[in-house]
Amino acid sequence: MIQALNFFYGISGGNYGYAIIFLTIAINMALYPLTLSSIVQMSALQRVQPKVKDLQTRLKDDPQKMQKEIMEIYKKEKVNPMGGCLPMLVKIPFFIALFFALQSQEFINEISNPAKNASFLWITGRISEKQVANKEILARLEKAGILLPDKSKVQKMFVWSPKSNKNEKGLEDELAAAGIKEKTDIDIIKKAWQGTSSLARPDPYLIFIILIALTTYFSQKTMPGSASQQAGGMLYFMPIFIAAISISFPSGVQLYWVISNLVAIGQQVFIARNVSRETF
């Protein structure tokens, strides 16, 4: 996954935010045949649902016969009840791989290089000298190599060193090694560290979380069977649930989720408008 990110970093003009976007689009386009098959299966399942419900009503006292006749309907109509889940299951390994890749030391090393561009919109990956609010502390951090200067910027900006950028424990270890032990100084530094955004950390402004909720809602809305989801409340529950569990994810993973949802919406609308209705 790191190699894939670096490949797209190279062709995206040298930006890890765009690299994640291009990687997400590539994964979703590669899985398009499965998405098409899934939507066709879900539409077919919706089409035979009245027949299935009729059987469930008539044969509720004979579950074995009911199940047999339902399976015969599925076979006759060429419906695979599990066919709609396949693309989601196939995407899970990619999601897990990216989740761990963006928290790996190898990726932290990449985005801790001042020469690399790991910014995307409000996720800057940089800290300004104003955020430290103490020139003496800033000088000590720079001298100890805890803050690495980005010389390409007009305004003086810094990147946290790979160890400090990894997590707060790494920052504490480097401060101790540099002899910075005063609580007041440490509090100032930690506040500046917590105010630094990064693709390897959660979005501090929760903007991606809101976008995840919205895009998940519209992704579900454009899928066959959204009316039944709305009736069951899942159309509203799932976006809130997914947004809630993704709050602690790295913002790079959150970006992946948003773009993946947007591509899914586009693919579902395209399929609904262009695939022959006879297929359904």
Rounded to whole angstroms, how far apart are CA atoms 63 and 72?
A: 14
Helix or strand holding residue 2 (H, E) = helix 2-11
Q: How many residues does the chain have?
A: 280
pLDDT of residue 217: 92
Do the Cβ atoms of 137 and 185 come closer than 8 Å? yes
Read off the pLDDT of each residue in 188-195 and give the average, rounded to a whole number. Answer: 88
pLDDT of residue 254: 94
Residue 28 pLDDT > 80? yes
Rounded to whole angstroms, how far apart are CA atoms 3 and 54?
A: 53
pLDDT of residue 26: 93
Q: Which residues contact 155 (CB under 8 A, 6 or more apart)?
A: 128
pLDDT of residue 86: 66
pLDDT digits (tens, 9 = 90+) for 235-256: 888 899 999 999 999 999 999 9
Q: Which residues contact 40 (CB under 8 A, 6 or more apart)?
A: 83, 275, 279, 280
Instruction: Identify the three-state secondary structure at position 128.
Output: strand
pLDDT of residue 52: 74
The pLDDT confidence band at residue 229, using thresholds 50, 70 and 90, is low
Rounded to whole angstroms, how far apart are CA atoms 168 and 7?
A: 30
In DSSP notation, 135-175 reads HHHHHHHHHTTSEEEETTSSS-EEEE-HHHHH-HHHHHHHH
Do the Cβ atoms of 196 and 123 come closer than 8 Å? no
Long-range residue pairs from 215-219, CB within 8 A, at least 24 positions apart, any chain: 215/257, 215/258, 215/261, 215/262, 215/265, 216/242, 216/243, 216/261, 218/261, 218/265, 219/261, 219/264, 219/265, 219/268
Residue 40 pLDDT > 80? no
Question: Is the C-alpha dihedral spanning 14, 17, 20, 24 positive or negative?
Answer: negative
Q: What is the mean pLDDT of the chain?
A: 83
pLDDT digits (tens, 9 = 90+) for 61-107: 777 777 787 777 777 766 766 665 666 677 788 888 988 998 898 99
Residue whose tokens read 């990726």? 107
- Count the neighbouring beta carbons within 10 Å of the beta carbon of residue 225: 15
pLDDT of residue 215: 95
pLDDT of residue 246: 93
The pLDDT confidence band at residue 32, using thresholds 50, 70 and 90, is confident
The pLDDT confidence band at residue 278, using thresholds 50, 70 and 90, is very low
Residue whose tokens read 């103490």? 134
pLDDT digits (tens, 9 = 90+) for 139-159: 889 888 999 888 776 668 889
For 19, the token pair is 């690299």
Do the Cβ atoms of 43 and 271 come closer than 8 Å? no
What percent of the chain has a predicted confidence (pLDDT) above 70?
A: 89
